[in-house]
Every structure is written in C-alpha cells, then in structure tokens.
Structure 1
Amino acid sequence: MEPPAAPAAEPAGVPAVGRNWPVGGRPRVLRGWEPPATVYGRGHRGVDLAAAPGAPVRAVAAGRVSFAGRVAGKGVVSVELPGTGEPPLRTTYEPVLASVAKGDSVAAGAVVGTVEPAGSHCTAPCLHWGLLRGDTYLDPLALLPPWLLHRGPSRLLPVLGVPLPE
C-alpha cells in the first residue's frame, strides 16, 4: 500500500506540544483519511492504524474524556482537547475497551484503553482514529508534528577531525 498522503493543514487551535501516535511506535497507516464530498457522502472519516488486539491506546494530546462507552456494539473513546477553539477539537478511538470514564482528564500519551479484538471495520487488526470539530471531520494526522509523520532515510554525516585508518 502507498504511504499516506501528506495531512491537510493543521487545524486551528491545535496544541503545539504533547502530541503522539495513539498506538505504539510509528504504526502503519492501513487506510488514510478520505473526506466525503458531501455531509452524508462516501468517505473515510479518520485513519486506520495497524494495531494488535490488546495493544494500549493512548491519548494523542491532553484533554478531557467526553465519551467512553459502546456505539453500535463497538467500544469508543472520545477526548475533547481544551484550548483548540470553538467548538473544541475532539479525537475518537475505536474499537477500544475503555480504561477511562467520561469526565476524566488525560495527559498526552496516557492510556485510555486497549484495542478490542473484534468490532473493527479493517481487514487486519486496527485502531480507527478520528478528529472532529463540532460535526466536521478533519484529518487526524494533522495533529501530529511533521517529525512524527515523516522519517527520512538514515544518512551518514561526515566525521571531522578523526584520523583515517591506514
């Protein structure tokens, strides 16, 4: 699969610090964000990240849990990000067995639950990660700083002042 397209411009009011991937390491993006042409049109309103069942799911940024429960049989956790404008940004994670409750404050990187073994719409185990402002879906990859998104190839740098071997 091709690497994901570059994310859209960063949403206004996004916290500048304390952002990380919701699952460990740098997960493979199985399916990227595909905004619908209309409110009810086809699209993919988030990104799917490769994640094993039972893997910890972490808050991408600090916030307050606005929902932790089941929707259509799937575990869902939503975290509202304060100081991100009106209405505030909200991240969503599914399918997740929540370890937090509505109203809990979470730090960036805090575990909010674990990936459930069932309930995913992916063909391989995954975490669906979404971002909303009100009812408008945005590209969640826009929350991550560029250095987390793009790891270039390793480069050898010149070594100065070290004698060459004879």
Structure 2
Amino acid sequence: MHLNLIPLLLTLALAWPGPPVPVWPAGPPPALVWPVSPSPPEILRGWQPPPGPYAAGHRGVDLAAPPGTPVLAPAAGTVTFAGPVGGRGAVTLTLPDTGTPPLRTTFTPVTPLVPPGTVVTPGTPIAEVTAGTHCPRSCLHWGLLRGEEYLNPLLLTRRAPSRLLPLDDD
C-alpha cells in the first residue's frame, strides 16, 4: 500500500458513520418496496433531523413524483390515518411487529385511496400524489416515526453495501 494513502484511509475510517441503525427489533426487515416508481425514485431532499424536538429540520425525504403518481405501501401494515393535516392530504401506515411503539410511515401531499383500518401488503396502492408547495417541483414527502421520534425513512430501503476499490497506479 502506498504510504500516502494511509492518512486518507484513516480519515475515512474515523469519519465513516458505520452501518445504518436497525429499525426492526430483531431479524431482517420484511419485504419492502419504494413508495413511488421508478424504483428507486430520485431523492429531491434528504432527511435532516432537527437538533431538538421542536427545532427546524426536514423530518423525512422528498421523492420526485408528479401529481397522480400512485403511492405504494412500502411494507405490510394497517392504514391508521387517511385525511387532511394542515390543509394537505396525508396517509399513515402502521407497520406490525416493529417493536413498541410500532413504526409508522407517513405520506404527504396525497389523496388517500383507502380508509383507516385497511390492512395492506407491500406494493398496495394507498394514495395518489397531489400537487403541493412542499417542494420546488412535485414530490412525495415520506416520513418515518417510532412513537414521537422521527427516523430516516431510507433506513427501510435496501442499498448495496459500499466497498473500496483499488487505485489504478497508471
């Protein structure tokens, strides 16, 4: 190994955030799908957790999606809310067997397609994206909560592991 690479590798190792925080209580997560197509969708704005419970932040991710795009259940669950919140349509899907309190995933701005109490499987259409002012262009805001704590919904997705590639000496 080239000696000039050691500081770079050490810096990367110390700054590396490590594996994602598991959100399932035990074992692998169930089969999951992205809530909109194409899969994976373009992420317009990422998750930016606030420094405190009442501080400004972005408590979800914005996925590019034009109005009328079907919103799919990313996992099996029960629709526990479908209606307006702050003048925008919203849907909440509660995921079973995810601990106490259970995980809830939220979607806005949408027109709900199913009423509260509906049990769905992954990929079931639960809403349609509506026009909104949350993003500079049309998007779906996807949130994830455990109790009152907001989590990064991208923790629900499967991503290829990162790996280091050899440097070309040429």
What is the TM-score with the length of structure 2 in the denominator? 0.79
CA distance in 1, matches of 2:133, 2:42: 16
> Which among 77, 95, 99 is matched to residue 85 of structure 1?
99
Shift of 1:16: 1.9
SS in 1 for 2:143: strand
For 1:77 and 1:112, the matched residues in 2 are separated by 8
Task: Describe the superposition over 1:30-59 as per-residue Cα deviations: whole angstroms up to 9, x where unpaired.
Answer: 000011101001110000000011000001
Q: CA deviation at 1:7?
A: 8.4
Number of positions where the alignment pairs a residue of Structure 1 with one of Structure 2 = 144
User: Corresponding residue for 1:94?
Assistant: 108
Give the counterpart of 2:153 among 140, 144, 156: 140
Q: CA deviation at 1:146?
A: 1.7
The verdict on how the C-alpha distance between 1:27 and 1:12 changes in structure 2, with shifts beyond 3 A counting, is same
Q: Contact 1:94–1:120 at 8 Å: present in 2 too?
A: no
Residue of structure 2 in register with 1:16 after alignment: 29
Q: Secondary structure at the match of 1:146?
A: coil
Q: Which amino acid aligns with 1:137?
A: Y
- Counterpart Cα distance in 2 of 1:7 and 1:102: 35
Q: Where do residues 81-160 of structure 1 align in structure 2 (5 Å cutoff)?
A: 81-117=95-131, 119-147=132-160
CA contact (8 A) 1:7 1:141 kept: no
CA distance in 2, matches of 1:7, 1:50: 26
Question: What is the aligned-residue identity percentage?
Answer: 50
**Structure with greater proportional helix content:** 2
Q: Cα gap change, 1:106/1:71 in structure 2, threshold over 3 Å: closer, same or farther?
A: same
The RMSD of aligned alpha carbons is 2.1
Q: Mind listing any 5+ residue stretches in structure 1 that lack a counterpart?
A: 151-166
Distance in 2 between the 1:58 and 1:6 partners? Answer: 29
In structure 2, what is the Cα distance between the partners aligned to 1:128 and 1:45?
Answer: 9
Question: Which runs of 4 or more aligned residues in structure 1 lie more than 3 Å from their structure 2 counterparts after TM superposition?
Answer: 5-8
- TM-score, normalised with respect to structure 1: 0.81
Q: CA deviation at 1:72?
A: 1.1
**Distance change (3 Å), C-alpha of 1:7 and 1:132:** farther
Confirm or deny: 8 A CA contact 1:89 1:133 kept in the other structure: yes
C-alpha deviation, 1:17, in angstroms? 2.5
Q: Which residue of 2 aligns with 1:41?
A: 55
Q: Secondary structure in 2 aligned to 1:18?
A: coil
